[in-house]
Amino acid sequence: MTSLEGLSLFPSYTYLRCEQINRVLIVTIQREEKLNAMNAVMQGEITDIFKRIHKLEDIGCVVLTGTGKGFMAGADIEGYSDFDMGQFFAFQDIGREMYRAVETCSKPVIAAVNGYALGGGFELTLACDLVVASSKARFGLPEVKLGLIPGGGGIQKISRIVGSFVAKELLMTGRFIPADEGRDLRFVNQVVEPEELLKSALEMATAIAEQAPLAIQILKKLVQEGRDASLETAQAYDRAFLANLFHSDDAKEGIAAFVAKRPPVFTGK
């Protein structure tokens, strides 16, 4: 396991630890005393690291996780309790930039949810591509309990995943959702025992990182952008990108390796 901080690829972060295993980068949120609740500094750091990861050719997949009992227990309420309107809007803008950096990162991002993923923490989970959850994980959008509503995209994303009736119940009660129910509602891919969480997430990430980088990048883009397009339009984009991929070096290598019955060596070109 290699620390990327030691290789000076990233600055020394206050709330993040970065480690690389082969082509997988593990990003761990570290603010355990606050259940990893986010403040503006943490938001900026997550934005920064995902913009950097976007450009790194030796990273094929990212695992995002937390320490202690929290994945990310939402925003640090004490930190913004005395904000005026301008400060609150600025805080929200920084948060939206963070979610966008995760969503638009060219590398697939797996959320390894170790504990509480609430409010903005659940919205961060929904910004990821895949979710592996500890059996002790809890999800929720409890902003209604503060007289607020989710501001990081959670309302529309959860509605699209679980449907409007279930989404209204979750949003209007603000209740916590166990990991098994999250799997049933289809925003969790796997539920594992706590001691197996990182291992399972790494296995999934490694399987993805071994594939052709261009194909993975395009798959992420097509699934995300196709959700809001008509079926006919989305399928037209699929065909267009497939045609372009067919002429890539990776596709030529993949086909040649299949014919020769050998493992492919992809270069992302």
| Mean pLDDT per 10-residue interval, the chain, length 269 residues | 50 94 97 94 96 93 97 86 85 92 97 98 98 98 96 95 97 98 98 98 98 95 91 94 92 92 90
Are 221 and 193 contained in the same domain?
no
DSSP letter for 192, please.
E
- Find the farthest-apart pair of alpha carbons in the chain and give their distance in angstroms, rounded: 65
Is residue 268 situated within a structural domain?
no
Same domain, 169 and 142: yes
The range of the structural domain enclosing residue 164 comes to 2-209
Q: What does residue 27 show for φ and ψ, rounded to 5 degrees?
A: -110, 120
In a domain, 123, yes or no: yes
Give the burial class of 186: count Cβ atoms within 10 A of its Cβ; 0-12 exposed, 13-18 middle, 19 or more buried: exposed
Shared-domain flag, residues 128 and 12: yes
Residue identified by tokens 């005026």 is 84
Q: What is the pLDDT of residue 7?
A: 45
Pair 116, 224 in one domain: no
Is-contact 206 63, C-beta < 8 A? no
Q: What's the pLDDT score for residue 169?
A: 98
Cα 38 versus chain centre, distance: 15
Let me know whether 189 and 242 are in one domain: no
pLDDT at 79: 74
Residues 151 and 248 in one domain: no
CATH of the domain at 182: 3.90.226.10
Q: Can you say how many angstroms the Cα of residue 87 is from the centroid of all Cα atoms in its chain?
A: 26
CA distance 128 to 172: 24
Q: What is the pLDDT of residue 6?
A: 40
- Residue 75 pLDDT: 85
- Residue 62 — φ and ψ, nearest 5°? -125, 140
**20 assigned to some structural domain:** yes
What are the catalytic residues?
123, 143
Please give the pLDDT value at position 87.
87
Q: Are residues 13 and 143 in the same domain?
A: yes
How many structural domains compose the chain? Answer: 2
Q: Tell me, yes or no, whether 126 and 238 share the same domain.
A: no
Same domain, 121 and 222: no
